[in-house]
Amino acid sequence: MDVTISKNGVPTRLTEERWLHIVENHDDVAGYYDEVLNTIEEPDYVIKGYRGAFIALRKVTERKFLAVVYRETSEEDAFIITAYFTSKLKLEEETITWEKQL
């Protein structure tokens, strides 16, 4: 299990069980373990997800993002739910909670 820190300052866990879930369901993410952790710590955007989750986004190409879904359960604990690549994102339709400043 590895831990990274979210933009809210919350330690965020990536367990072996969750990593296996991610690579079984999104095999194109298999070689991106470190990038998944780094996306939580240094995203380009964080948007609201479903049921209190957040989605950290890091731009891979002009139209493609690595999306990492995580939930903060307290100020001291959070966990990664899943991660995937997407090009179907319309940021103007999302609720952005944090954005990287250039």
Res. 50: pLDDT tops 80: yes
| CATH code, 23 | 3.30.2310
Tens digits of per-residue pLDDT, 71-91?
A: 999 999 999 999 999 998 888
Pull the structure tokens for residue 91.
Answer: 């940021």
Give the pLDDT score at 5. 97
Measured distance CA(10)–CA(78) in Å, rounded: 6
Residue 11's contacts (CB-CB under 8 Å, 6 or more residues apart) are: 3, 4, 5, 76, 77, 78
Residue 49 belongs to domain spanning: 2-99
Domain count, the chain: 1
